[in-house]
Structure 1
Amino acid sequence: MGVNTTGNDTLRTLLDGRWAELRERTRKRLGVLEAPAPGLSREEHREHVLRQLRALASSGHSTAGFPVRHGGDGDFGGSVVAFEMLGFGDLSLMVKAGVQWGLFGGAVQALGTDAHHERYLREIIELDLLGCFAMTESGHGSDVQRLNTTATYDPDTGEFVVNTPNVHARKDYIGNAARDGQVAVVFAQLITGGEEHGVHALVVPIREPDGSARAGVTIEDCGEKAGLNGVDNGRLTFDNVRVPREALLDRYGHVAEDGTYSSPVEGTGKRFFTMLGTLVRGRVSVAGGALSATKKALTIAVRHGETRKQFAKPDGTEVPVLDYLAHQRRLLPALATTYALNFAQEALVSELHAVFGGDESDDQRKRELESQAAGQKAVATWHATRTIQTCREACGGAGYLAENQLPQLKADTDVFTTFEGDNTVLLQLVAKGLLTGYRDHLGDLDTLGMARFVATQLVGAVIERTPVRALLGGDVRDRAWQLKLFTDREEHVLDGLVRRLRNAGEDDAFEVFNNAQDHVLRAARTHVDRIVLEAFVAAIDRCPDSDTAELLERVCDLHVLANVEEDLAWFLGHGRLTTAKAKSITSEVNSLCAELRPRAAELVEAFGVPMEWITAPIAQR
């Protein structure tokens, strides 16, 4: 079977999208960075990553997204792309860069005022000030609104007293804390005049200039992790640590010298979600980084599949394993979905840039973006975990060897499903947005609060769905039919969820919602699936080359039909497909795998993974 190994510049350009030039610059920067040597100790790996981080800062990589007047380039969306591209290299470096410039620097930028920007941003960009993002606590990860750390204002001294009241309030898994961080943006319950004002952020020094812990600060090392051991994760505990009043990042909440609190955002709940909304970039970045790691794994596995031969035809010719349908079914649907998520990520970053990259504020648009970011982060990181494992298995025993990179990719990306938001919790946030219609209700996000709101406020609307008979007919490769199928599934699942929750009363609201969580998660997932498909269709529509567009049409078909095949039980059980059509779906997936097999190399080469970072012997030609 012939293999097309010719590069497709049109395909690469389309995948690279709006920030194609930035992606190329980052590829070049990655090309001169040094990969960590095999067998490094944890301390050696951390030191190596810090050196590479400094090299990135020197190359100008760190300017992405920061204000021009403080040494940045002002490209908010570009900061996400710059992070995402580091996923082609050492993922420890990617994560440490994300902690320094995305989380720590991003928090100062988003939550601070001009005075904070003037004082900190240039030092953060140039890596003269290394910092931490101290939000997660041992007892509160997803439930950020109920963090236990306190920051109590003392008007007599004009200082905040930052304290860890119990073991559950210890800041945990904090990147940059164990070794390199000098300061931390600490999220704590703000208290002044005996009144609590919810979670706010303060810049708190954690080390002295000589590197020792500051008085009142206890720093512990999280130690060896399953992966990402070039990142110095640590634990922070504060024993009545005093910081000046100016340490409060007070864009959304200000404390005067006398302790008077004021805020431009009314209501603790609304203020909390406004603050967290400005940090949505982190979730978008993680989704992009996960996709980069997925692309790298697929590049290795497809290259291996084309050169590895097993068993012979009757004429004695050995067969490349990628010529076998079973092997194609392992890799090509995953490859197709990676394309779909790539285009969805591009659309999401563009929306992020539009919403947060300017001065205009549109609360509803922000709520929609936050929901979409949560959903795509969950889907993209689960896809990464599943696909990288599939690639490992597809490479047999060789895929288990460290030299072939897949084990490290698997270990380093495993945590992506739970950091920057646990995926299951994130899908519940997506469902909440669907259920409330993105209303201006910004109350508690806890399960009881959500259930009560649904029970008392939600009015069931009659959803106008595509007639079922229109779904039973039609060509399975017809794009309009596919879009109708995905839209109908989403609407039907959401309508069913509304019916389950509508009759909940005040006394049983929690139980009703809890018993419907499987339905909640399905509603969110089907919504994301539809959004991703629409992004793929839009990308094909803007493709300028007919041959490339036709190739993408088939890739999109494979993504759609593999998704449908995976959910056949639902489509059959709800009368959306006949048995005959369900069988035809499987047949079409097989046919599409055969059609795309000759262009598999072209499809992975278009990802543009720098070959300096594809060191696996099994991926060499």
Structure 2
Amino acid sequence: MNAISALVHTDPGRAETAAVFGHELFRHREGLTHRQHCELTYQRMRLLNERLPAASALLEKPRTLLTALETAAVVSPSLFLAMTIHYCLSANAVAEFGRGRADLAPYVAELDSMASIGTLVVTEIGHGNSHLAIRTQARLDRETGEFVLHTPDPDARKFMSNNGLPGVPKIGVVYARLLDGDTDHGIFPFVLRLRGPDGTPPGIRIDALPETTDLPLDYAVVEFTHARIPRHSLLHDSAVLDADGVLTDPLGPQLRLKRSLTVRENAWLASAAALASVARAAAGLALRHAGVRISRSRFSAERPVLGFRPQQQALFGALAETYALTCLVNRAKQAWTEPGGDDPLWTPGAALGRTLGLAKAAATATAGRVTTTCAVRSGAHGMFAVNRLAGYRGLAHMLNPAAGDGRLIELDAGRALAEGEHYTPPSVARPAGFEPADPATVRALAAWRERRLHEQLTGDLALARRRGQDLFHQWDNRLPLACRLAEAHIRRLELDCFAAAVEAVPDRRARAALEPLLAWHALARVEADLAWYVAEGVVTAEQAAALPTGFHRLCEELLPVLPELAGALELPGAVLDSPIAGTGYGEVYRELP
């Protein structure tokens, strides 16, 4: 592995883990029905389960799990989603909230063997991703010790979990409001069988949702009608349900919900890692194709489309965003798998949880832009499923609302940053300007933007309070500003991670190849917020006008090192089977079944 590859791929066991995807079953299939596609996804999962550690063991090996999920995403986005739900959400919830409980061993065994697939059942159809409004009831029956799971109205039906395929047994972790008489103990997860080989248990109804071409899976609506579930279904965590049916919870309802949703952090990191992985695959495919797809203009002889400046600027920009996102995600993976250090943003705790959520939100936005750019710049070839770019765009779309909507994550983070929860804004003086060729000056601009947005948000909130506005109105008009602060925060961290990773490359030649890519990303961050910087007076009109010249210069610097930068992405073999990955793509289409 060369120095640039080592910057991109930080898991030393990556090759061994990725090799398990070499089976014929992972090759692209044409002409499948929606049901066949869903069945293939679960067949692939079970094959991987034979070649990888079981779920309970894999959760103890987060590096291996993340590498498997990253590879799954580029091979089959639907496979990645089903695996993430099974491992990071369902099995993880049982492990985390049922730790040390022998009565849960049958569920663990079924999830480990994949005799049943794990699902997560949280969102309700009438309330979007507002988990504060969960209305599904789990009422304690004191006489039997059971819980009675019930959907009180149609809007409370559970939405979008992958439980719709008949014949595939599913164990679900269902989030419901625990009620004991008139006492509401808050939201708890419950583990129960949702579907067996022959159907659903009494009181459970599952209706398949319409098909989707973006990310096919057996999505469904789940409804409970006084379904009786055993006492041990409650994943009570630190709460205690005594023999008389009395629940004592040291957290209380509000903190219990927050605790119950912490399993999302695993999925946030997995999603960010997967999105960085598909961005790399998309950039690698598009650059390969652009290097062999021939075109001409009125002013030149035939040449590859990558020989034209507009194509270079689009794809080099996608490549720079991909590297920056990869460095951010690699730092997050390190913080998750190798905890240590004294920076709260990168050590276990509430601040790291916030960072992981924002990394996921940023990754969905970046991967959405990168995969769309790469698909569009690949012409009509980008629309065919066999070339994978359409599937990667679908993954970016689907992962925005999955496990917590990206915008809601930003809103919550913006509120926490404004209130100083495990956070201090950057201590930086007003920049005197910036030098387009020096990313360090752009990093200073990014830190200044974060500080100024924090000052503006906290100042506006203080003014609203002085005017006597209630809490809703204090925040409502300032939510867009809160989102901008949260985005500025994670994009500043991303730029810092990219710069730190490049500075740490020991090989001088490799570092020199990476530096123009870092400079490109730095300029692009200024360009994205150019109006704000000019209004603040830290970027002059002359500097703004010079940005296009800076990108032209960087194109010339990147062209000679592009093979090394693109080659370091190291696309899996299944992706290299895509027609546009090779030179004779016209002939490859003829050979497709």
Structure 2 letter corresponding to 1:476 = P
Q: In 1, are the aligned partners of 2:214 and 2:390 still within 8 Å (CA)? A: no
Structure 2 unaligned runs (5+)?
Answer: 584-593
Aligned CA distance change for structure 1 residues 77 and 142 (closer, same or farther; 3 Å): farther
Aligned CA distance change for structure 1 residues 504 and 365 (closer, same or farther; 3 Å): farther
Instruction: State the match for 2:38 in structure 1.
Output: 46
Instruction: State the match for 1:293 in structure 2.
Output: 278
Instruction: State the match for 2:9 in structure 1.
Output: 16
In the alignment, the residues of structure 1 paired with residue 271 and residue 230 of structure 2 have an alpha-carbon distance, to the nearest angstrom, of 33
Higher relative contact order (CA 8 A, sep 6+): 1
Structure 1 letter corresponding to 2:417 = L
Instruction: State the match for 1:259 in structure 2.
Output: 245
Q: In 1, are the aligned partners of 2:208 and 2:221 still within 8 Å (CA)? A: yes
Q: Encode CA deviations 1:451-494: one digit per residue, 9 max, x unaligned.
A: xxxxxxxxxx998541342xx2x532324312211101110111
Instruction: State the match for 1:491 in structure 2.
Output: 451
Q: Encode CA deviations 1:217-276: one digit per residue, 9 max, x unaligned.
A: 1011113013222x211111111111111111111323222121123x333222221232
Q: Stretches of 4+ moved more than 6 A in 1?
A: 361-364
Q: In 2, are the aligned partners of 1:184 and 1:205 still within 8 Å (CA)? A: yes
Instruction: State the match for 2:61 in structure 1.
Output: 75
Q: Secondary structure at the match of 2:441?
A: helix
Is it true that 1:196 corresponds to 2:180 in the alignment? no
Is it true that 1:614 corresponds to 2:576 in the alignment? yes
In the alignment, the residues of structure 2 paired with residue 386 and residue 76 of structure 1 have an alpha-carbon distance, to the nearest angstrom, of 28
In the alignment, the residues of structure 1 paired with residue 152 and residue 575 of structure 2 have an alpha-carbon distance, to the nearest angstrom, of 46
Q: In 2, are the aligned partners of 1:72 and 1:125 still within 8 Å (CA)? A: no
Kindly state the Cα deviation for residue 355 of structure 1 after the two structures are TM-superposed.
Answer: 5.4
Instruction: State the match for 2:586 in structure 1.
Output: none
Is it true that 1:309 corresponds to 2:272 in the alignment? no
In the alignment, the residues of structure 1 paired with residue 192 and residue 345 of structure 2 have an alpha-carbon distance, to the nearest angstrom, of 32
In the alignment, the residues of structure 2 paired with residue 258 and residue 407 of structure 1 have an alpha-carbon distance, to the nearest angstrom, of 55
In the alignment, the residues of structure 2 paired with residue 338 and residue 363 of structure 1 have an alpha-carbon distance, to the nearest angstrom, of 21
Q: In 1, are the aligned partners of 2:335 and 2:348 still within 8 Å (CA)? A: no
Instruction: State the match for 2:235 in structure 1.
Output: 249
Is it true that 1:325 corresponds to 2:288 in the alignment? no
Q: Which stretch of the first structure deviates more once superposed, 533-542 or 409-418? A: 409-418
Structure 2 letter corresponding to 1:201 = P
The correspondence for 2:121, drawn from 121, 134, 152, is 134
Structure 2 letter corresponding to 1:599 = V
Instruction: State the match for 2:330 in structure 1.
Output: 346
Which residues in structure 2 correspond to 1:347-426 (within 5 Å)? Answer: 347-354=331-338, 365-426=348-409
Instruction: State the match for 2:474 in structure 1.
Output: 512
In the alignment, the residues of structure 1 paired with residue 20 and residue 570 of structure 2 have an alpha-carbon distance, to the nearest angstrom, of 14
Kindly state the Cα deviation for residue 324 of structure 1 after the two structures are TM-superposed.
Answer: 1.2
Q: Which stretch of the first structure deviates more once superposed, 155-164 or 104-113? A: 104-113
Kindly state the Cα deviation for residue 380 of structure 1 after the two structures are TM-superposed.
Answer: 0.7
Q: In 2, are the aligned partners of 1:226 and 1:412 still within 8 Å (CA)? A: no
What is the CA RMSD across the aligned residues, in angstroms?
2.4
Kindly state the Cα deviation for residue 283 of structure 1 after the two structures are TM-superposed.
Answer: 1.1
Q: Secondary structure at the match of 1:431?
A: helix
Q: Which stretch of the first structure deviates more once superposed, 31-40 or 504-513? A: 504-513
Aligned CA distance change for structure 1 residues 42 and 364 (closer, same or farther; 3 Å): same
Kindly state the Cα deviation for residue 136 of structure 1 after the two structures are TM-superposed.
Answer: 1.0
Structure 2 letter corresponding to 1:156 = E
In the alignment, the residues of structure 1 paired with residue 26 and residue 536 of structure 2 have an alpha-carbon distance, to the nearest angstrom, of 54
Aligned CA distance change for structure 1 residues 165 and 430 (closer, same or farther; 3 Å): same
Structure 1 letter corresponding to 2:192 = V
Q: Secondary structure at the match of 1:277?
A: coil
Q: Which stretch of the first structure deviates more once superposed, 376-385 or 174-183? A: 174-183
Kindly state the Cα deviation for residue 344 of structure 1 after the two structures are TM-superposed.
Answer: 0.7
Structure 1 unaligned runs (5+)?
Answer: 1-7, 441-460
Q: In 2, are the aligned partners of 1:76 and 1:353 still within 8 Å (CA)? A: yes
Q: Which stretch of the first structure deviates more once superposed, 186-195 or 25-34? A: 25-34
Q: In 2, are the aligned partners of 1:106 and 1:279 still within 8 Å (CA)? A: no
The correspondence for 1:220, drawn from 197, 207, 210, is 207
Structure 1 letter corresponding to 2:265 = V
Q: In 2, are the aligned partners of 1:374 and 1:429 still within 8 Å (CA)? A: no
Q: In 2, are the aligned partners of 1:388 and 1:409 still within 8 Å (CA)? A: yes
Kindly state the Cα deviation for residue 168 of structure 1 after the two structures are TM-superposed.
Answer: 1.2
Structure 1 letter corresponding to 2:364 = T
The correspondence for 2:539, drawn from 549, 552, 577, is 577
Q: Encode CA deviations 1:190-216: one digit per residue, 9 max, x unaligned.
A: 1124211110011122234x4211111
Aligned CA distance change for structure 1 residues 463 and 348 (closer, same or farther; 3 Å): closer
In the alignment, the residues of structure 2 paired with residue 224 and residue 176 of structure 1 have an alpha-carbon distance, to the nearest angstrom, of 13
In the alignment, the residues of structure 2 paired with residue 285 and residue 397 of structure 1 have an alpha-carbon distance, to the nearest angstrom, of 31
Kindly state the Cα deviation for residue 348 of structure 1 after the two structures are TM-superposed.
Answer: 0.8
Aligned CA distance change for structure 1 residues 397 and 503 (closer, same or farther; 3 Å): same
Is it true that 1:238 corresponds to 2:198 in the alignment? no
In the alignment, the residues of structure 2 paired with residue 553 and residue 397 of structure 1 have an alpha-carbon distance, to the nearest angstrom, of 33
Identity of aligned residues (%): 26
In the alignment, the residues of structure 1 paired with residue 581 and residue 215 of structure 2 have an alpha-carbon distance, to the nearest angstrom, of 23
Structure 2 letter corresponding to 1:163 = H
In the alignment, the residues of structure 1 paired with residue 71 and residue 183 of structure 2 have an alpha-carbon distance, to the nearest angstrom, of 45
Q: Which stretch of the first structure deviates more once superposed, 129-138 or 74-83? A: 74-83
Aligned CA distance change for structure 1 residues 11 and 560 (closer, same or farther; 3 Å): same
Instruction: State the match for 1:523 in structure 2.
Output: 485
Aligned CA distance change for structure 1 residues 463 and 120 (closer, same or farther; 3 Å): closer
Q: In 2, are the aligned partners of 1:173 and 1:234 still within 8 Å (CA)? A: yes
Q: In 2, are the aligned partners of 1:101 and 1:125 still within 8 Å (CA)? A: no
